[in-house]
Amino acid sequence: MRAEIISIGTELTTGRNLDTNSQWLSRRLAEMGVPVHWHTTIADDLDANLEAFRIAVRRAGLVLSSGGLGPTQDDLTREVLAKVAGVELVFDQESFDRIAEMFRRRGRTMPEGNRVQAYFPAGATVLPNDRGTAPGIWMRLGDCHVAAMPGVPSEMFAMFEAHIRPRLFALGAGGSVLIERKINCFGAGESQVEEKLLDLTRRGHVPEVGITASDATISLRIFASAPTREEALAQIRPVESTIRERLGDLVFGADDEELQDVVVRLLGEGRRTLAVAEGVTAGLIGERLARVHGASACFRGGVIAYDNTMKVQLLGVPESLIEEHGAVSAAVAEAMAEGCRRLLHADLAVSTVGIAGPGGGSVDKPVGLVFAGLAWEGGTLSRSSSWLATRAEVQSRTAKMALNLARLHLIRPAE
């Protein structure tokens, strides 16, 4: 069964938005052994939609589309599928009730426009949308299975997992498996990491090992393809062990694991609490920790000391320290962490100071210079870095430095 993915939206063909749905769906299908041969992207235009679906159902055994299911006049997918199938659109009371109920739960009246979302091509199966108002559509067009999903990524992801994946299994997908294992590192550059792994990353190595860098996180990706999941995993396991052995503490996690996930897990295991004193990161560390389910058990909160006076007034950093070393210094980062740890009665605290740019740099302290601090009951420490990067990247990487200090302390406490 060869698959085609169709993305619908003028915001995509004009280049206003980047299409990430096609990639996401391609990965899910690859994992199930369903090869994707085509991605097609079209504007919210009736003729282009009709042609794209007609071509797709002729050449593919499975077509997954996203977009065009909203309540507005440029949402055409319902109409297009009905026309391609040569059937009428019919009203589905149950879907209508679900949509109305969704508005009621939010204390709002359903606008008349949303009524069109309860119409479906005759004979199609309605796929409930648990995250939004647009139901999806599952139907057969000739020899081809077609699933139409909403374009909002979170709604599309949830609908695929809940309603499409089981149907693909039922159709016999999953005959061979492609598995990707990602090993994530922080604390060294891409080429430093690659130098230790040149024998694995060379072209032709089985399984294939690739290296990518994203916002100072370096990831090794191991790709294995085999008839069964077990065989693919058997290819991956020894390579993963070698990588972990050679990289040691640089490795913080696997697959989608981020530094904050690891920190929350380690805090939970040690029944420790963490607080944050954020200068240059201005809330980013807190926001990332709070993304992790279960963070509330170990993350106390913190202080956003964006204005320098906050460092003194709230965190008790001595003014003399700022005068002597400057606010962007190891001494101030460590004093902020310790002040925060005491103020919030936490076991550990991390802190950040720095110059995110684009302005504010000097010869001594250039844009990109940052310090991350850590305080625990027995002391404080800090690390500095000088990032050559945009403002947002400097902030993000400094947040990672601080989280990494907490991680390293939790796996191997400083004296």
| CB closer to a second copy out of 284 and 374 | 284
| CB closer to a second copy out of 139 and 250 | 250
The piece of 44-52, 140-148, 238-246, 319-327 that touches a second copy (CB under 8 A) is 44-52
Q: DSSP readout, 226-255?
A: ESSHHHHHHHHHHHHHHHHHHHGGGEEEET
Asked if 36 is part of the footprint of a second copy (rule: CB under 8 A), the reply reads yes
Residues 6+ apart with CB under 8 A from 159: 127, 129, 130, 131, 136, 149, 150
Token pair listed for 338: 């310790």
| CB closer to a second copy out of 192 and 411 | 192
Least Cβ distance, residue 182 to a second copy (angstroms): 8
CA distance 179 to 160: 19
Least Cβ distance, residue 123 to a second copy (angstroms): 27
Asked if 68 is part of the footprint of a second copy (rule: CB under 8 A), the reply reads no
Asked if 65 is part of the footprint of a second copy (rule: CB under 8 A), the reply reads no
Pick one of 86, 93, 108, 320: the residue that binds a second copy (CB under 8 A): 108
Per CB under 8 A, which of residues 268..297 are in contact with a second copy?
Answer: 276, 278, 280-287, 289-291, 293, 295-296
Give how many residues touch a second copy by CB under 8 A.
Answer: 117
| CB closer to a second copy out of 38 and 119 | 38
| CB closer to a second copy out of 25 and 139 | 25
Residue 256 burial (CB count, 10 A): 8
Residue 238: cis peptide before it, omega within 30 degrees of 0: no
Q: What are phi and psi of 264, to 5 degrees?
A: -65, -40
Asked if 314 is part of the footprint of a second copy (rule: CB under 8 A), the reply reads yes
Per CB under 8 A, which of residues 80..99 are in contact with a second copy?
Answer: none
Residues 6+ apart with CB under 8 A from 373: 277, 330, 333, 334, 335, 336, 337, 350, 351, 352, 353, 380, 381, 382, 402, 405
Pick one of 122, 125, 206, 212: the residue that binds a second copy (CB under 8 A): 212
DSSP-assigned letter for residue 126? E
The answer to whether the CB of 260 falls within 8 A of the CB of 237 is no
The piece of 48-56, 169-177, 245-253, 319-327 that touches a second copy (CB under 8 A) is 48-56
The piece of 4-12, 86-94, 140-148, 371-379 that touches a second copy (CB under 8 A) is 4-12
| CB closer to a second copy out of 86 and 358 | 358
| CB closer to a second copy out of 96 and 306 | 306
The piece of 84-92, 136-144, 234-242, 384-392 that touches a second copy (CB under 8 A) is 384-392
| CB closer to a second copy out of 16 and 412 | 16
Asked if 154 is part of the footprint of a second copy (rule: CB under 8 A), the reply reads yes
Q: Which amino acid is at 149?
A: M
The C-alpha torsion from 329 through 331 and 335 to 337, rounded to 10°, is 60
Per CB under 8 A, which of residues 326..345 are in contact with a second copy?
Answer: 343-344
For residue 211, the surrounding DSSP H or E stretch is strand 208-214
Residue 269 burial (CB count, 10 A): 10
Pick one of 86, 93, 106, 320: the residue that binds a second copy (CB under 8 A): 106
User: What residue has token string 């891409």?
Assistant: 190
Per CB under 8 A, which of residues 227..266 are in contact with a second copy?
Answer: none
The size of the chain, in residues, is 415
Q: Where are the beta strands (DSSP E) in 52-103?
A: 62-66, 89-91
Q: Which amino acid is at 269?
A: E
Least Cβ distance, residue 314 to a second copy (angstroms): 7
Secondary structure class of 119 (helix, strand, coil):
strand
Pick one of 113, 227, 379, 413: the residue that binds a second copy (CB under 8 A): 113
Least Cβ distance, residue 167 to a second copy (angstroms): 20
| CB closer to a second copy out of 180 and 338 | 180
Asked if 132 is part of the footprint of a second copy (rule: CB under 8 A), the reply reads yes
> 363 to each of 196, 360, 366, 384, 393, how far by Cα in Å?
35, 10, 6, 16, 21
Least Cβ distance, residue 415 to a second copy (angstroms): 26
Pick one of 172, 175, 191, 413: the residue that binds a second copy (CB under 8 A): 191
Asked if 192 is part of the footprint of a second copy (rule: CB under 8 A), the reply reads yes
Residue 161 burial (CB count, 10 A): 11
Q: DSSP readout, 75-90?
A: --HHHHHHHHHT--EE
Q: Which candidate, 51, 136, 52, places its Cα nearest to that of 92?
A: 136
